[in-house]
Amino acid sequence: MSSLYLARNPRVAARSLDGEMMIMSGRDSTLFTLNQTATILWKSADGSTPLQVIVEREICPAYEVEASEALRDAETLARELAGHGILRISEQPIVPENPAGGESR
């Protein structure tokens, strides 16, 4: 079982525009639009659900593909999204980040 976990990078901006996910990188303001599979990964990336479960629950039923093949493709895609700073990936569950440091003024 893949032990990869995904979490949305809180530093990006994101909005669904008529079903199409728009993401702006917090690193360099590059704009991305996500395809349907990437959108599923983004929406499911809660830091605590393993990628394999996301694939079995969300991707396989939608695309009628073999679980092993779908998982391989999803891993590649997740790593690509992580490379752009859109997702964070880890082999451990990811604790939500509080970029503001929880400080109050």
Interface of this chain with another protein, residues 33 to 52, rule: CB under 8 A = 33
Rounded to 5 degrees, φ, ψ at 59 are -90, -45
Q: How many residues bind another protein (CB under 8 A)?
A: 24
d(CA 89, CA 69): 19
* Contact status: 101 vs another protein (CB under 8 A): yes
For residue 20, list its beta bridge partners. Answer: 17
- Which positions from 61 through 100 interact with another protein, judged by CB under 8 A? 98-100
Sign of the CA dihedral with 6 first, then 8, 86, and 53 last: positive
11 binding another protein? (CB under 8 A) = yes
Residues that bind another protein (CB under 8 A): 10-18, 20, 22, 24, 26, 29, 31-33, 98-101, 103-105
